[in-house]
Amino acid sequence: MEVTKEDYDEFVFKVPSLRNVALTAPYFHDGTQKTLEQTVQKMAWLQLGKKLSAEETSNLTAFLRALSDKKRSVVAAK
């Protein structure tokens, strides 16, 4: 809102990209979630009120890992 001066932008926030999210553990502002799987499960509960199955968690984390830069993935694995 400070930039646009439009009332409808009052609670609009820019969110970070999901690119390379699989390479940035630990997660959350306080680092409490050590793995991407834990993070996906926690966010599903917090945002959707849903407990994910192992398959759903696996599918979502596979998608998020696919967003990783292959060159950066090699460096992170070292």
Say how many domains are in the chain. Answer: 1
Q: Is residue 36 part of a domain?
A: yes
pLDDT in tens, the chain (78 residues): 888 899 988 888 777 789 999 999 999 989 999 999 999 999 999 999 999 999 999 999 999 999 998 787 666 655
Provide the domain limits for residue 37: 16-77
Asked if residue 6 is part of any domain, the answer here is: no
Structural domain contains residue 24: yes
Which residues, 6 or more positions from 76, have their beta carbon under 8 angstroms from its beta carbon?
Answer: 23
Q: Is residue 2 part of a domain?
A: no
- Asked if residue 8 belongs to a domain, the reply is no
Residue 4 in domain: no
50 in a domain, yes or no? yes
CATH number at residue 38: 1.10.760.10
Q: What is the number of alpha carbons within 13 Å of residue 65 lying toward its C-beta?
A: 12
